[in-house]
A and B are shown apart, each in its own frame.
Chain A
Amino acid sequence: MSPMASETLSPTDFVALDGNAAGGLLRQLFVFDVTVARVVCSGCRSSHLLAALKLYGHPMGSILRCPDCHATLVRVVAHEPEYWLDMRGVESLHVSLP
């Protein structure tokens, strides 16, 4: 199948998404669904569920930003089979496992 072959490729669909949509990507790295974790932003110390962070998808990787101060909390680059994860913007991560 080569559906994209004849198309002009734009960098993104200009879609505004949140952390819910990063669930599949992050599930490659975590043994549980990390979108239900509560994360604290190291920039402004506000806390949000990861599902509620703003997701910016780029060809080079995905970025999750704080909805309050827009600091970068999580960066993921997937270049199968290699993954690169930067979570330095997350001060802490709290999850309730079943």
Chain B
Amino acid sequence: MAIPGKSSATAVTREPPATRLQWRIAEVTALRDETPRARSLTLRVADWTGHIAGQHMDVRLTAADGYQTQRSYSIASIPQASELELLVDLIPEGEVSPYLTQEVRPGDRIEMRGPIGGYFVWTAAHGGPLMLIAAGSGVVPLASMLAYRAQAAPGLPTRLLYSVRTSEDIIFRPRLDSWARQDPTLTVVLTLTRGAPIDWTGYRRRIDMDMLRQVAFSRDQSPLAYVCGPTSMVEETADHLVALGYPPERVRTERFGPSGDPR
């Protein structure tokens, strides 16, 4: 039981006055295939006032017969961007992602609401060092944090440990490479879990305790960790970080992805 007066809840992020989130119409302005099964959607939303790095949008599709279904997609773009970038991973048997990855065209209109989320978010005021850990499309909210950090907190020691199946599954590789090249205080470490090119010199396995010992900031640097990916990866990684001495409240988690293992 939480002790009244003791702050065991996370502070509510200051938001505009209480109003219900309204469904709004977004117009697709650009599409880009990011990997063979993930597509980036750029969207224009009227009166968009930006977001906080790490937040997501709810997307709602309505069938001709009125059937509605909705999904959440993390925002990839930098918070100040005038247009919104979402990354949609194809789930072949899914209801929503096949439409968003294969059917949608520039000029199409999509219903969405957001931005949403006050927990898995990072602002410069949260500080660091920043330990970001992702598997698969879990890198999306972290990419928004990295884009924001480059402007709002350059020089803040930051590491990204990113696990994907093969090199062609690396989402946002050009921007990750470019940020890491330009910034000596940012380190990007990739691990490939299912087959690496012959000349691959990086890790070739799932994220584990030994890898975290080598890659993660040590606890005496008071790091703040964000872990995003499939449930099992998130829970194992968070447990490892706590075992390495990270206070549980300094390990923020977001679980998502198909229950079939995308790593």
State the A residues within 8 Å of B (CB): 1-5, 7, 9-10, 12-18, 20-21, 23-25, 27-28, 31-33, 35-38, 40, 45, 47, 49, 51-52, 54, 91-92, 94-98
Contact = CB atoms under 8 A, between A and B. Distances in A.
A31 B110 CA distance: 26
Contacts of A13: 71, 91, 93-97, 258
Interface on chain B toward A: helix, strand, loop, or mixed SS? loop
A23 B73 CA distance: 12
Contact of A51 (B12, B63, B120): B120
B197 interface: no
A9 to B, nearest CB: 6
The bracket for how many chain B residues form the interface is 35 or more
Given A10-B95, A27-B20, A98 B13 contact: yes
Interface stretch (B123-131, B154-162, B199-207, B248-256): B248-256
B50 interface: no
Given A9-B95, A10-B93, A17 B255 contact: yes
Nearest to B252: A51
B176 interface: no
Interface of B: 1-2, 4, 7-15, 18, 20-21, 56, 58, 61-65, 67, 69, 71-72, 91, 93-99, 103-104, 108-110, 113-114, 116-120, 230-231, 253-260
A39 B239 CA distance: 20
Contacts of A33: 12-13, 15, 116-119
Given A16-B256, A21-B72, A92-B2, 14 more contacts: A2-B63, A3-B103, A7-B63, A10-B93, A10-B95, A14-B91, A16-B230, A17-B256, A20-B254, A36-B12, A49-B10, A94-B8, A96-B12, A98-B12
Nearest to A15: B258
Nearest to A17: B256
Contact of B14 (A91, A95, A98): A98
B14 A49 contact: no
Given A27-B21, A32-B15, A47-B1, A14 B93 contact: yes
B259 A47 contact: no
Interface centre among A17, A20, A27 (most CB of B within 10 A): A20
Interface centre among B9, B67, B230, B256 (most CB of A within 10 A): B9
Contact of A49 (B56, B109, B113, B119): B119
Contacts of A35: 117-119
A1 B9 contact: no
B260 A14 contact: yes
20 contacts: A1-B108, A2-B64, A4-B62, A9-B95, A15-B71, A15-B258, A20-B56, A21-B56, A21-B72, A24-B21, A24-B116, A31-B18, A32-B15, A33-B117, A47-B2, A49-B119, A51-B119, A94-B4, A96-B7, A96-B12
B10 A36 contact: yes
Contacts of B7: 96
Contacts of B8: 38, 47, 94
